[in-house]
């Protein structure tokens, strides 16, 4: 069975095609185009205009790359939420148009759940992980329990990626700023004390962001600030992930989201997993960031478990939470 997935929750418009004929997910193509604001953060309408101008070409390109005829497509999937309204509506509109023109079923899926399922679908041995999902807008620690992906911990304010991007933007770095911060952090020598805000199982980043900016005003080295930001935020994320693993008695940890490309974050989580005798998993970078293949794969899982969606019911949901989804495709 072949599914095309359209991702459009925020800065990225992505189209991926996957084959789910076997038990594992076979990614046939996965193309993305990122909206980069000239200045400031993401403007939802501008991002949506960007997505609208590229989505049709991406669908064609994705089919060519996958060497799939449109007639061979069995299902059209799209990111139903959570995300920015105008961006979600653009991806959903493209999916509806494609579904109607091909006369193939449509499926709206939860973006955060897709980040978890693509790990299970593509990585050998990844069966029941705790997911540490770290992206621009989202930061969540989730795991399967009693029919749902439960949120064990999450950010109380901004996402970790957003924290890094905001700091970087004020320093004049290009969006996305995570890679530049990682590069500078490698040259950091001195740890600067920053707020380590874990409240129960939840994390807050905005106080740390303010403190980091103050260090810059006081003339501290940028390398040391970036190093300290990474060490502090990643330690907090690793701590909550470890506690979720202990609580659920799971021995697999999976990374997802754009910040999971960061070598230091991977390294910290890897050490924690090793110390617990647990397995560490991280999808390839193109499947970690926002992408259409993960949307396609989750659409297939849902469709094959008997879930159906009519075009007239294919609404978007900006506040679509991970734990609102009934995970009927798992035991
Ligand atoms: P996503 O929203 O999942 O597509 O991820 C985008 C976020 O990942 C942005 O906030 C980026 O700054 C961040 N990011 C990308 N690469 C890195 C990296 N190497 N280190 C830290 N953050 C990163
Ligand atoms: Mg994401």
Residue 23 has pLDDT above 90, yes or no: no
Ligand nearest to the CA of 140: 2
Cβ(261) to ligand 1 under 6 A? Answer: yes
The two structure tokens encoding residue 108? 């709206």
* pTM to 2 decimal places: 0.96
51 vs 33: CA distance, rounded Å: 8
30 vs 74: CA distance, rounded Å: 17
Mutate which of 136, 287, 295 for ligand 1 pocket (most atoms within 8 A of beta carbon)? 136
Domains of the chain are: 2-116+287-324 (3.30.420.40), 127-282 (3.30.420.40)
**Phi/psi of residue 71, each to 5°?**
-65, -20
How much is the pLDDT for 54? 98
Q: How long, in residues, is the chain?
A: 331
| Cα-to-chain-centroid distance, residue 159 | 11
Residue 74 has pLDDT above 90, yes or no: yes
Digit-coded pLDDT (tens) for 199-248: 999 999 999 999 999 999 999 999 999 999 999 999 999 999 999 999 99
How much is the pLDDT for 310? 97
Helix 222-248 with 263-275: angle, nearest 10 deg: 30
């Amino acid at each position: 069975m072949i599914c095309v997935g359209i991702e459009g929750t925020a800065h990225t418009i992505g189209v991926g095609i996957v084959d789910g004929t076997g038990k594992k997910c076979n990614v046939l193509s996965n193309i993305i185009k990122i909206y980069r604001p000239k200045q400031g953060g993401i403007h939802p309408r501008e991002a949506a205009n960007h997505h609208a101008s590229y989505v049709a070409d991406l669908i064609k390109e994705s089919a060519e790359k996958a060497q799939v005829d449109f007639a061979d497509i069995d299902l059209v999937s799209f990111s139903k939420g959570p995300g920015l309204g105008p961006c979600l509506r653009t991806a959903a509109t493209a999916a509806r148009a494609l579904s109607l023109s091909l006369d193939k079923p449509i499926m709206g899926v939860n973006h955060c759940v897709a980040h978890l399922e693509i790990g299970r679908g593509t990585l050998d041995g990844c069966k029941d992980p705790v997911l540490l999902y770290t992206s621009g807008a989202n930061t969540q620690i989730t795991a399967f329990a009693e029919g749902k992906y439960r949120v064990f911990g999450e950010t109380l304010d901004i996402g970790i990626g957003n924290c890094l991007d905001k700091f970087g933007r004020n320093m004049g770095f290009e969006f996305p700023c995570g890679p530049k911060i990682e590069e500078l952090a490698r040259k950091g020598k001195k740890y600067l004390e920053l707020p380590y805000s874990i409240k129960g199982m939840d994390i807050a980043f905005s106080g740390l962001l303010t403190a980091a900016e103050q260090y810059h005003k006081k003339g501290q080295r940028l390398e040391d600030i970036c190093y300290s930001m990474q060490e502090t935020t990643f330690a907090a994320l690793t701590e909550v992930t470890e506690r979720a693993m202990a609580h659920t008695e799971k021995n697999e940890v999976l990374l997802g989201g754009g910040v999971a490309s960061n070598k230091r974050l991977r390294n910290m989580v890897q050490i924690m997993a090793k110390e617990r005798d647990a397995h560490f998993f991280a999808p390839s970078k193109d499947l970690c960031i926002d992408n259409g293949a993960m949307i396609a794969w989750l659409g297939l899982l849902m469709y094959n478990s008997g879930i159906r969606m009519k075009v007239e019911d294919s609404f978007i949901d900006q506040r679509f939470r991970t734990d609102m989804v009934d995970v009927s495709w798992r035991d």
